[in-house]
Amino acid sequence: MDHTPKKVFILKDNEYIEISFQELYEMRKNDSSFRDRKFLFEDGFLMEARPDEYKAMKSEKRRQRYQKELALKNNVSLDDLPEETLNTILTDSEQDVSAVVEKKIMNDALAKALMRLPEMDQLLIYQHHFADIPTTELAKMYGVSQQAISRRLGRIYLKLRVKIE
């Protein structure tokens, strides 16, 4: 397999110029300043990078490789994550990937546990958490006290904890 770059770009006077791979080879062989220059290989192109750009790019590649390894270790595919979560992971270098993966696993477990609840319990959880109906409103809707709704939600949460564990 041929790994010769399609194109090579070097920095000269803060501008990129295109040279052949053979020219680069000769420059690196004959000019010691070229031996210390950093190049990035991407999509068949070899491009010189400033030291700070090179370091940032290598760091980003290491981070992405770590994220993939962690996802495989936790048996979660990055394809399974919602696009906004994936974008957050890929753009926020401070993001704790293991926390995101753990949250995804817990969300999946919660969704499965919710589906195993009786229909009335599912409805109450939906109304309170997803439709944002306060317990005082739910109490009026069901014709019971607000405390009764709170106790019922407490029992449902307990059932969910048991089903998730």
Q: pLDDT-derived band of residue 155, with 50, 70 and 90 as boundaries?
A: very high
**pLDDT tens per residue across span 56-83:** 877 777 877 777 776 666 665 555 666 6
Do 105 and 139 share a domain, yes or no? Answer: no
pLDDT of residue 147: 95
Q: Is 100 exposed, middle or buried (0-12, 13-18, 19+ CB in 10 A)?
A: buried
Residues 16, 121: Cα–Cα separation, whole Å: 64
pLDDT of residue 150: 93
pLDDT (average), residues 116-137 = 87
Do 38 and 67 share a domain, yes or no? Answer: no
Domain's final residue, options 49, 73, 89: 49
Structural domain count of the chain: 3
Do 65 and 91 share a domain, yes or no? Answer: yes
Do 99 and 81 share a domain, yes or no? Answer: yes
Do 159 and 137 share a domain, yes or no? Answer: yes
Residues 109, 3: Cα–Cα separation, whole Å: 46
The answer on pLDDT for 1 being more than 50 is: no
Q: Mean pLDDT check: name the lowest of 34-38, 53-57, 75-79, 150-154.
A: 75-79
Do 85 and 101 share a domain, yes or no? Answer: yes
Q: pLDDT-derived band of residue 146, with 50, 70 and 90 as boundaries?
A: very high
Do 28 and 3 share a domain, yes or no? Answer: yes
Domain with 82 in it:
58-110
Do 62 and 92 share a domain, yes or no? Answer: yes
pLDDT of residue 152: 94
pTM recorded for the entire structure = 0.41
Do 63 and 98 share a domain, yes or no? Answer: yes
Around Cβ 124, how many Cβ atoms within 10 Å? Answer: 21
Q: Which of 44, 33, 32, 38 is nearest to 8 (CA)?
A: 44
| DSSP line for 38-49 | EEEEETTEEEEE
Do 4 and 30 share a domain, yes or no? Answer: yes
pLDDT of residue 80: 60
